[in-house]
């Protein structure tokens, strides 16, 4: 859909979830330069997808894989493989048949009493095979893959999207993958849609036998193994909270809730805590934004592709979302020829 906003031509992508009709990205016939702004999982995956589609790419970012700043991408996100509910919900009806991803994971199995994986106080559960990853290693892997394709990198914090073209003057466009950083780079109406979702987790020693997630009355608890790097305990989900400090009382609550989920890691009844951390998930009212607008910058018509707002789903949606963004960019560039 194409509309006019503030004098700029805008093309919206209605859904960031990839589908077969949107995943066919053809190779570019000429080596056009595109800038990716941001080096979180969305930015790095978008850069790699652009490179694999035949574009020349420069990543401009303030933070890179290995940085532990709270404004950088969450390095703690993984996927559980056992899901437990303490109380009935619409999802638990009909043996979990209403769970939308029930047919997408291997060995999806409802758990009812008595079952060794289901705590006595739980109402219902499911088990399934999934995967886990070490996010820091995965981000480094994406950057390494991009380097193999000739990506250029530039460490810099920009004050505006137009400033990007001062550093890469030949670029035909920029992909804005700045997460919450987009608040300072977009107009006030769009900025008002962006907000942090605060999360707090604890890294403990040892790898849990499996990842487990439990939903209780007003809380969520999970243990997620990080391959080669311990296990994450969580958590919390607080919209609109910018607080970057660890809440010690919350940490105690998280530890107690997780003891029943990973008893194999307890030493004399306690976890061996390595670190506590707080993260801000980049959330957006209405969900992720994938949208292209055209603007005159330094006498040239260039595109700006906005690609942010994935909240806590950045890792799991990064590949499909990047394909959607690149396919949209490619269609827009073809229209300009």
Q: How many angstroms separate the CA atoms of 197 and 70, rounded?
A: 12
Can you count the helices (H) and strands (E) in the chain? 6, 17
158 is in an annotated binding site: yes
CA distance 207 to 170: 48
Whether 281 and 74 have beta carbons less than 8 Å apart is answered as yes
Go through 40-53 and write b for each residue having 16 or more CB atoms within 10 A of its CB, e for each that does not.
bbbbbbbbbbbbeb
Q: Is 83 annotated as a binding residue?
A: no
What is the CA 292 to chain-centroid distance, rounded? 20
State the DSSP H helix or E strand holding residue 22, giving kind and residue range, or none if neither.
Answer: none
The answer to whether 178 is a known ligand-binding residue is yes
For 38: left if phi > 0, alpha if psi spans -120 to 50, otherwise beta; the answer is left
The residue whose two tokens read 């053809």 is 26
Residues 6+ apart with CB under 8 A from 129: 81, 105, 106, 107
Bond before 151 cis per omega within 30 degrees: no
Q: Exposed, middle or buried, 71 (CB in 10 Å: 0-12/13-18/19+)?
A: middle
Question: What's the farthest any 2 CA atoms get from each other in the chain?
Answer: 70
Q: Is 280 annotated as a binding residue?
A: no
**Other residues' Cβ atoms within 10 Å of the Cβ of residue 96:** 19
Instruction: List C-alpha distances in Å: 133 to 75, 78, 79, 167, 201.
Output: 10, 6, 8, 34, 16
74 has binding-site annotation: yes
312 is in an annotated binding site: yes
Confirm or deny that 253 is annotated as ligand binding: no
Do the Cβ atoms of 290 and 325 come closer than 8 Å? yes
List binding-site positions for D-dopa.
222, 281, 312
List binding-site positions.
73-74, 158, 178, 222, 281, 312
List binding-site positions for FAD.
73-74, 158, 178
């Amino acid at each position: 859909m194409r509309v006019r906003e503030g004098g700029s031509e805008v093309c919206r992508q209605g859904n960031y979830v990839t589908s077969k009709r949107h995943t066919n990205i053809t190779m570019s016939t000429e080596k056009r330069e595109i800038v990716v702004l941001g080096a979180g999982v969305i930015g790095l995956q978008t850069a790699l997808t652009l490179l694999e589609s035949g574009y020349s790419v420069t990543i401009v970012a303030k933070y890179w894989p290995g940085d532990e700043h709270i404004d950088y991408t969450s390095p703690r996100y993984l996927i559980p493989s056992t899901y437990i509910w303490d109380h009935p919900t619409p999802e638990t009806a009909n043996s979990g048949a209403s769970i939308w991803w029930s047919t997408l994971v291997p060995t999806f199995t409802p758990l009812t009493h008595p079952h060794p994986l289901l705590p006595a106080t739980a109402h219902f559960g499911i088990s399934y095979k999934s995967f886990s990853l070490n996010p820091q290693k995965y981000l480094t892997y994406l950057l390494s893959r991009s380097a193999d394709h000739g990506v250029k990198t530039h460490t810099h914090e920009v004050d505006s999207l137009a400033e990007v073209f001062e550093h890469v003057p030949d670029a035909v466009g920029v992909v804005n993958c700045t997460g919450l950083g987009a608040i300072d780079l977009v107009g006030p109406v769009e900025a008002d849609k962006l907000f942090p979702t605060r999360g707090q987790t604890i890294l403990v020693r040892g790898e849990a036998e499996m990842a487990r997630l439990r939903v209780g009355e007003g809380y969520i608890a999970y243990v997620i193994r990080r391959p080669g790097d311990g296990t994450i305990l969580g958590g919390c989900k607080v919209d609109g909270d910018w607080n970057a400090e660890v809440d010690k009382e919350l940490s105690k609550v998280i530890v107690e809730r997780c003891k029943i989920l990973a008893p194999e890691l307890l030493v004399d009844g306690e976890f061996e805590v390595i670190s506590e951390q707080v993260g801000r998930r980049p959330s957006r009212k209405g969900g992720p934004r994938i949208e292209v607008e055209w603007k005159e910058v330094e006498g040239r018509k260039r595109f700006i592709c906005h690609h942010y707002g994935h909240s806590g789903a950045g890792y799991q949606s990064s590949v499909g979302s990047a394909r959607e963004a690149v396919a949209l960019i490619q269609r827009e560039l073809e229209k300009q020829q």
